[in-house]
Amino acid sequence: MSAGGDRFDYDLIVIGAGPVGENVADYATKRGLHVAVVESELVGGECSYWACMPSKALLRSGHALRTARRLAGAREAVTGTIDAAAVLARRTGFTDGWSDAGQVSWLDSAGIDLLRGHGRLVGRQTVEVGDREYRARAVALATGSVPVLPPIPGLDSVSAWGTQEATAADHVPASLIVVGGGVAGVELAFAFSSLGSRVTLLSRGALLEREESFVGDLVAAALSEEGVDVRWGSAPARVARDRDGTVTVTLGDDTAIRAEEILVSTGRRPNTDHLGLETVGLETVGLGTAGLGTAGSGARRTELVVDETMLVSGTDWLYAVGDVNGRALLTHQGKYQARAAGEAIAARLQGTALHDGPWGAHVATADHGAVPRVVFSDPEVAAVGLTERAAREQGMPVRAVEYDLGWVAGAKLHADGYAGRAKLVVDESRGVVVGATFVGQDVAELLHSATIAIVGEVPVERLWHAVPAYPTISEIWLRLLETYGRPD
Ligand SMILES: Cc1cc2nc3c(=O)[nH]c(=O)nc-3n(C[C@H](O)[C@H](O)[C@H](O)COP(=O)(O)OP(=O)(O)OC[C@H]3O[C@@H](n4cnc5c(N)ncnc54)[C@H](O)[C@@H]3O)c2cc1C
Ligand SMILES: NC(=O)c1ccc[n+]([C@@H]2O[C@H](COP(=O)([O-])OP(=O)(O)OC[C@H]3O[C@@H](n4cnc5c(N)ncnc54)[C@H](O)[C@@H]3O)[C@@H](O)[C@H]2O)c1
């Protein structure tokens, strides 16, 4: 369907051409809509240039080296140290040298218009880009997220690295202090330690605290073995950069830690800044002190509430998809929302059937209990669905079982002294798995089996008939089922 006469320039304008915006545009275009995307930086977004891809490229070579060193015979063949310059160059290759030419030509081939510049709403169905206004029957916000900076005295004046500076680094600092024990902090501590930095990781609580409790313990042990100084319960009291360029972080107990650089990775929040939401009647809400962000302290922001098709509450034309809606700050989950939203927008505009019941084609039901997560540390952390704690908080009658991955034959073969652990959380009222966690070398590829079990609501009794090949690490499934108990 093309835009209606001269009243609308487009059927759909997507603000933000990250992985999510690209997918909303692509799926809507494939259904026949006339679509434009607005991008103020690089087509491909945070994930391609400053997040997923470069961070994984920085990690991978160190993992490969440790993998070889864990195997008798291979270990003896690995005698040198990591070539940090080659790793940085490989990382740069994955960002195309921070050029979006390839992604721009894909947009062109897909028939999607690109409007370069900052997009903001200036009224119902109206988007301003530069000095032009465009009208569209629907608008999708896919503007991602921005870092949340803690209010640490001195932090503003030390030119601290955020995740963008770390993933785009052109050198490896001799020493690095990482503040924040979440996913980004853990991954980047691993990456820079592998590349030769002396890393101190400051975490105010347990590492990866939203996951099962053994996750943080195993990852912390591995980081320590790698030479990272992991300090729990330590939040910086103040930060300063000395004349010689050294950063000094003073902790609450007056201990001072010094390093060449400091990286702050203390979470992200939806990017609803400067989008003109107030021009379409969406209220801004005040934030508490915990929410001080890069837009400036004391800022007021809008939290967008969306339905299952990503339609913003109180509107019939505005959508919010991916990180900006705060449902799950992960590329794959945002792209899943984008596939649903792109097709839901087309269905609404074209008057075709909308499948918006649970698990329908136009909704993102999996966001609520089947989100897969991988932390690319070593050991990897792969988890999907609910932790035992989260399930209990929801009032689910769950029983959980754990098993040591080091006892699985396939794992023993995979690496000498394999260390890891797995857990299944079972909803006993329905007899189905609602959560799974695996920690160990190369477990990420196991995760999709658990995602399918959860989304498919496969009865535990039937899982006994899903036979893992011998000797693979997947035999962990059998061991977990045996620990849970064979059905009568
Ligand atoms: C260090 C790090 C590593 C990560 N690793 C992974 C990983 O391995 N796997 C994973 O699943 N997730 C990972 N993530 C999360 C992932 O990066 C995000 O979930 C993902 O990028 C969200 O996609 P998005 O399209 O919603 O937003 P973004 O990728 O942030 O894209 C938003 C785009 O909108 C543009 N934009 C914003 N406002 C405007 C405006 N007003 N006008 C025009 N353009 C605008 C921005 O320039 C940007 O290009 C990581 C995050 C970080 C910080
Ligand atoms: N492999 C992946 O999929 C991947 C990798 C990196 C990032 N991401 C995504 O990017 C998002 C951002 O990552 P992140 O690690 O910054 O966020 P996060 O929410 O995972 O972790 C933030 C950490 O900072 C700590 N923290 C918060 N405020 C603090 C303060 N004032 N002082 C000290 N510590 C403080 C928290 O306790 C937590 O440990 C995540 O939501 C994640 O989904 C994903």
Are residues 177 and 295 located together in one domain of the fold?
A: no
Q: Report yes or no on 219 lying in a domain.
A: yes
Measured distance CA(207)–CA(228) in Å, rounded:
13
- Which of 266, 289, 317 delimits the end of a domain? 266
Q: Which residues are annotated as a binding site for FAD?
A: 56, 119, 143-145, 323
Which of 204, 269, 325, 371 for mutating ligand 2's site (highest number of atoms within 8 Å of CB)? 204
Given a cut of 70, whether residue 292 has pLDDT beyond it is: no
> Closest residue (by CA) to atom 43 of ligand 2?
329
Phi, psi of 75 (to 5 degrees): -50, -45
Q: Is residue 323 part of a domain?
A: yes
pLDDT at 303: 86
238 with 298, same domain? no
Out of 250, 266, 373, mutate this one to test ligand 2's pocket (max ligand atoms within 8 Å of CB): namely 266
Indicate if ligand 2 lies below 6 Å from the C-beta of 207: no
CA distance 309 to 113: 24
Answer yes or no: is the C-beta of 54 below 6 A from any ligand 2 atom.
no
Give the SS3 label for residue 34.
coil
More confident residue, 469 or 232: 469
- Cβ–ligand 2 contact at 235 (below 6 Å): yes
Cα separation, 441 vs 381, in Å, equals: 9
Query: Ligand 2 within 6 A of 266 CB?
Result: yes
- Mean pLDDT rounded to a whole number for the chain: 94
Q: Give the count of domains, the chain.
A: 3
Pocket of ligand 1 (CB under 6 A): 15-21, 38-41, 45-47, 51-52, 55-56, 118-120, 142-144, 163, 167, 184, 271, 275, 322-323, 329-332, 334
322, with CB counted inside 10 A (0-12, 13-18, 19+), is buried
Cα 360 from Cα 354, distance rounded (Å): 9
Q: Does residue 160 share a domain with residue 127?
A: no
- Tell me: do 280 and 359 sit in the same domain: yes
Ligand 2 in reach of 34 Cβ (< 6 A): no
pLDDT (tens digit, 9 = 90+) per residue, 102-147?
Answer: 999 999 999 999 999 999 999 999 999 999 999 999 999 999 999 9
Query: Same structural domain for residues 214 and 282?
Result: no
Ligand 2 atom showing the smallest separation from residue 268 Cα: 12
Collapse the DSSP code of 62 into the 3-class scheme (helix H, G, I; strand E, B; otherwise coil) and give the result: helix
Q: Which of 366, 393, 414 is the last residue of a domain?
A: 366
Give yes or no: residues 159 and 139 share one domain: no
Q: 226 is in which domain, residue-wise? A: 155-266
Among 239, 285, 343, 275, residue whose Cα is nearest residue 29: 343
Complex ipTM > 0.90: yes
Q: Is the beta carbon of 144 within 6 A of some atom in ligand 2?
A: no
Atom of ligand 1 nearest to the CA of 329: 19
Is residue 70 assigned to a domain? Answer: no
Residue 290 pLDDT level (bands cut at 50, 70, 90): very low
Cα 36 to ligand 2 centre (Å): 32
pLDDT at residue 285 in the model: 63
Q: Are residues 16 and 27 in the same domain?
A: yes
- Whether 47 lines ligand 2, by a CB cut-off of 6 Å, is no
Task: Kindly state whether residues 285 and 226 are assigned to the same domain.
Answer: no
Does residue 50 form part of some domain?
no
Check pocket membership of 211 for ligand 2, CB cut-off 6 A. no
pLDDT at 299: 54
Residues contacting 61, CB < 8 A, separation 6+:
82, 86, 87, 90, 194
The alpha carbon of 52 and the centre of ligand 2 are apart by a number of angstroms equal to: 14
Residue whose CA lies nearest to ligand 1 atom number 49: 45
For residue 288, pLDDT beyond 90: no
> Is residue 376 in contact with ligand 2, taking CB distance under 6 Å?
yes
- Contact indicator for 377, 442 with CB cutoff of 8 Å: no
Give yes or no: residues 262 and 280 share one domain: no
Q: What is the pTM of this model?
A: 0.95
| Distance between CA atoms of residues 293 and 146, nearest Å | 8
What's the rounded Cα separation, in Å, for the pair 476 and 423? 9
Does pLDDT of 298 surpass 70?
no
456 lies in the same domain as 404: yes
* pLDDT confidence of residue 293: 30
User: How close is the Cα of 55 to the center of ligand 1, in Å?
Assistant: 13
The CATH number of residue 280's host domain is 3.50.50.60
DSSP H helix total and E strand total for the chain: 14, 23
Residue 9 and residue 141 in one domain: yes
Q: How many CA atoms lie less than 13 Å away from 93 in the CB half-sphere?
A: 8
Residue 242 lies in a domain: yes
Q: What is the CATH number of the domain that holds 399?
A: 3.30.390.30
In a domain, 241, yes or no: yes
Q: Do residues 175 and 137 both lie within one domain?
A: no
Q: What share of the chain is helix, strand, coil (3-state, %, to 5)?
A: 35, 25, 40
Angle at 95 between CA 93 and CA 101, to 5 degrees: 105
Could you tell me if residue 250 is inside a domain? yes
What confidence tens digit (pLDDT) does each residue in 378-397 have?
A: 999 999 999 999 999 999 99
What ligand 2 atom has the least distance to the C-alpha of 330? 43
Confirm whether 459 is domain-assigned.
Answer: yes
